[in-house]
């Protein structure tokens, strides 16, 4: 079994190194965008980051099951404990040069994301769980080998008469707006990729509902970050905890929130 003390420095380093690779391509004059079998976009940055992270994880933890978005042959394997990777979440944000894209690496144990890292290289923000499970935000300079200054983060104490809500930038729809309309909302913000979990984790938002298709690699690292900051993620249909290791790795609709938010039924 992998220890948390061994895992955390490795996933932090690989996220930063993958971020550097992604930014080289992002800042180039041009890059190719291809369509995958489900018509979602994939770029050279997705593929380069995936290769770097996968090689690094397999070298460090050869006995661990690894599931990654870009390797379809990993999607048919299941286990109770596994590493799960989305090397570039928010490819649409990347393609449109909006900056809201992230590198995501997480450890799932018995259906629960227990440790993870979310790195937004264009935004220069990085969130990860320490070995003891607490979540911090590193403020730079993002040296792969040496951890920089960190600050502990935690969810808000929400005011149900004036909630801060974050929703998807690229996947907003009427059903989401209708659900948000059930709450007393003070302010509404949009963000791409797994950054939405991180905004709840830091207290910049109280509630993130997702009424759309996601896969476990999209959410596991952000979920781990939010768990370590005191937040929760539940299924939209019955408000039971969102679990991982499901057949096919597809998620149901879900709600991420700071405890104290009075959740509404869908």
pLDDT at 35: 60
Q: How far apart are CA 118 and CA 228, in angstroms?
A: 13
CATH number, span 4-152: 3.30.540.10
Q: How far apart are CA 69 and CA 87, in angstroms?
A: 8
Within this chain, domains 4-152 and 163-257 share the same CATH topology: no
| pTM given for the model | 0.94
User: Would you write out the chain's pLDDT as a tens digit for each of its 266 residues?
Assistant: 789 999 999 999 999 999 999 999 888 877 666 666 555 656 788 889 999 999 999 999 999 999 998 887 888 888 889 999 999 998 778 777 888 899 999 999 999 999 999 999 999 999 999 999 999 999 989 999 999 999 999 999 999 999 999 998 766 789 999 999 999 999 999 888 899 999 999 999 999 999 999 999 999 999 999 999 999 999 999 999 999 999 999 999 999 999 999 999 87
Question: Residues with Cβ < 8 Å from 127, sequence gap 6 or more?
Answer: 117, 118, 119, 135, 136, 137, 138, 153, 198, 201, 202, 225
pLDDT at 76: 82
Domain ranges within the chain, ordered by starting residue: 4-152, 163-257
Q: How far apart are CA 113 and CA 216, in angstroms?
A: 10
Q: How far apart are CA 208 and CA 256, in angstroms?
A: 5
Q: How far apart are CA 86 and CA 113, in angstroms?
A: 14
Instruction: Quickly name the fold that domain 163-257 has.
Output: D-Maltodextrin-Binding Protein; domain 2 (3.40.190)
Q: Name the nearest CA neighbour of 233 among 197, 198, 188, 187.
A: 197
Q: Name the nearest CA neighbour of 91 among 19, 18, 28, 33.
A: 33
pLDDT at 97: 81
């Amino acid at each position: 079994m992998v220890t948390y003390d061994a895992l955390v420095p490795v996933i932090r380093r690989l996220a930063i190194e993958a971020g550097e690779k992604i930014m080289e391509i992002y800042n180039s004059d041009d890059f190719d965008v291809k369509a995958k079998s489900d018509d979602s976009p994939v770029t050279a940055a997705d593929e380069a980051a995936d290769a770097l992270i996968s090689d690094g994880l397999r070298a460090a933890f050869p006995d661990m099951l690894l599931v990654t978005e870009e390797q379809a042959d990993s999607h048919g394997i299941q286990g109770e404990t596994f590493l799960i990777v989305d090397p570039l979440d928010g490819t649409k944000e990347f393609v449109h040069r909006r900056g809201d894209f992230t590198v995501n690496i997480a450890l799932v144990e018995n259906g629960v994301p227990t440790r993870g890292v979310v790195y937004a290289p264009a935004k220069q923000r990085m969130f990860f769980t320490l070995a003891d499970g607490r979540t911090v935000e590193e403020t730079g300079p993002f040296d792969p080998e040496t951890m920089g200054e960190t600050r502990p983060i935690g969810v808000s104490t929400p005011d149900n008469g004036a909630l801060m809500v974050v929703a998807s930038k690229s996947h907003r729809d009427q059903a989401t707006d209708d659900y948000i309309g059930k709450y007393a909302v003070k302010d509404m913000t949009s963000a791409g990729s797994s950054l939405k979990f991180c905004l709840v984790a830091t207290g910049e938002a109280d509630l993130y509902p997702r009424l759309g298709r996601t896969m476990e690699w999209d959410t596991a690292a952000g979920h781990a970050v939010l768990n370590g900051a005191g937040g929760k993620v539940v299924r939209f249909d019955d408000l039971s905890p969102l679990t991982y290791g499901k057949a096919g790795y597809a998620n149901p609709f879900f709600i991420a929130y700071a405890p104290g938010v009075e959740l509404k039924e869908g």
